[in-house]
Amino acid sequence: MNADNVQRSDAEEKALQDLRKAELDLQRAEGEVSEAEHEIEEAHRDHDVTINVDGTDHQVHRGKWIVRQLKAAVGVDPAKVLAEITPQGLKDLTDDQEIEVYQGERFMTHARSGGSSQ
């Protein structure tokens, strides 16, 4: 072998080593992405919270809810008003209102008032 062939062989060997290293790096990166995606899925599953409605605990997804949908999810009679129990007292919620539901939130229901005259 002449000097040019030796240099070319060394360059090809170096290029193959670099390629193998890049392939290993890519495999590691793909594994990390897959692991991160799995962690994100797990985190979303863990977003259930416990709320209390009329003295009964219910598991629901944390986050935004339309009151009508929350009432259905926890088995509240659609004819009743859902009220949030706050430090300032009861806060009646309208059925089409969007609320943020978080861990430990407390609600009660009551009959609708007014609306009919005799």
CATH number of the CATH domain containing 82: 3.10.20.90
Q: Residue 93: which domain range?
A: 48-111
63 conformational bin, left if phi > 0, alpha if psi -120 to 50, beta if neither: left
- Give the model confidence (pLDDT) of 105-115 as tens digits: 999 999 998 75
Q: Is residue 12 part of a domain?
A: yes
Q: Is residue 117 part of a domain?
A: no
Q: Is 58 exposed, middle or buried (0-12, 13-18, 19+ CB in 10 A)?
A: middle
In this structure, the answer to whether residues 65 and 28 fall within a common structural domain is: no
Q: How many domains does the chain have?
A: 2
- State how far the Cα of 86 lies from the Cα of 59, in Å rounded to an integer: 20
C-alpha count within 13 angstroms, C-beta hemisphere, residue 75: 8
Other C-beta atoms closer than 10 Å to the C-beta of 61 total 14
- Give the model confidence (pLDDT) of 64-109 as tens digits: 999 999 999 999 999 999 999 999 999 999 999 999 999 999 999 9
The answer to pTM > 0.75 is no
- Give the model confidence (pLDDT) of 2-11 as tens digits: 766 767 788 8
End residue of a domain, out of 31, 46, 61: 46
